[in-house]
Every structure is written in C-alpha cells, then in structure tokens.
Amino acid sequence: MIIYPAIDLLGGKCVRLTQGRYEDSTIYGENPTEVAKKWQAEGAEFLHLVDLDGAKIGRPVNIEVIKEILKNVSIPVQLGGGIRMLEHIDTLISAGISRVILGTSAVKNKQLVIDAVAKYGNKIAVGIDAKDGFVAISGWEEVSEFKAVDFAKIIEQCGVKTIIYTDIATDGMLSGPNLNAMKEMTESVEIDVIASGGVANADDIKNLKPTNVSGVIVGRALYTGDVTLGEILEVG
C-alpha cells in the first residue's frame, strides 16, 4: 500500500481545507517546494498534489509552483485540480507529472477520459469525490447525479486503471476514513483504488488494509503532527 503525503496548493502556498471548504483553509507552508522535499526526505515514495485554485477556476493555476516542486524532488508526483482539457494534460505530463488526476472533467466530458487514456495510459487517474454517496464536482461546490460506485464502473470501462476516492464528510476532519465506503468501492471495480480523507493516525492505515485499497492519501494529520510519516510508513 503506497502512502501519498498530500500537498494542497492555494495561492501558491501549502494549505489544508476542512471538508473542501475554501473559506475554511489553514496555511501549513509558505513554500510548498520545501514541504515536498521534507516528505521525500522522510521516506515518501509518491506525492499527491492538488491545485485548489485550479479546481475552482477550471484550469491549472499553480503551474510555476508545481514545476518548482518537480525540479526539487526525484519521487513521482500525481496532480489533480482544474484539469479540463487534453492540452492541460499535455502540459503537466511534459513538465514531469507522473499521473494526472481528472475530476470534474471526467464527470462532464467522458470523451476526454477516453482520449487521455488512449494517449497516456496509466498516467491518467480519475478522482471520485463523494458527498453522501454521490459524486461532487467543481472543487466540491456542486453534486452530480452520479452515484460514486456507478461512476467508478463507467470510468473503469473507459480504461482508467486508478481512481482516487475521497469521502468529503471525513476529509480534513481527522475522524478516521469511511471504511465501509472504501470497501464497497474496491469490491465494485477491479482497478486500483486510492483512499483519501479522514486518516488521523497509524491505526487508520491498519484499518484500511482489509478494504484492499492500493494506496492512502494523508493530509492534515501530517501537518498537525497527529502522526509522523515514519509511523504511517511502518504500517503501510
């Protein structure tokens, strides 16, 4: 199981949101590059970046910060947030992003997913953010008519090999992941599911193992000091 430390970018800084609310953000680093280097030094084997400005606006915004991070770390980086066109994907993969995560665009434009997978294969992932079991889009400000599990099956048929599944109710709450939702998702599709949301301690990682997720994204708990990356890596 791969542990992905999360770096959420807002206004060029490293922040964390609570349940996806932009008005409820906490700055945890003025220099995201230094944060990325810290996680690599502590043993991370993959980083998870989110361009929160991009998610809201609908195009990559923190591209210079992202490029700076890529120059300074040697581990792979996946990125989501505001990626709505094939040109955006081209730019990010050319810059060195290892895996591009489509979110809102995957819900609104299935053809983009098909085209992106045809061009880049397993470098394309889809983020499924669920609110009460339904897929939320546009920086979590809208809820679609798709049930998360049904949407995951559609994405699997498009050839996507990895989904990042976030339960918004637990995100940033340090309340523990939604184990039932994660288990339901892994049992519904045969592709990799990366869990996101709610991890507060090493026990949460242990509890996720039986759900058969392939990876776990950890955010706020690392920044508040509730857990160290080393502690999580030991059980992951």
Which sequence positions are flagged as catalytic? 8, 129
DSSP 73-127: --S-EEEESS--SHHHHHHHHHHT-SEEEE-HHHHH-HHHHHHHHHHHGGGEEEE
CA dihedral 69, 70, 72, 78 (to 10 degrees): 80
Residues 47 and 99: their CA atoms lie apart, in Å, by: 10
Residues 22 and 140: their CA atoms lie apart, in Å, by: 10
Helix axes 86-95, 110-120, angle to 10 degrees: 30
Residues 120 and 91: their CA atoms lie apart, in Å, by: 12
- Record the tokens describing residue 135, joined without a space: 């897929």
Contact 93, 63 (CB under 8 A): no
DSSP 8-33: EEETTEEEEEETTEEEEEEEEES-HH
Closest-CA residue to 185 (of 140, 216, 229, 153): 153
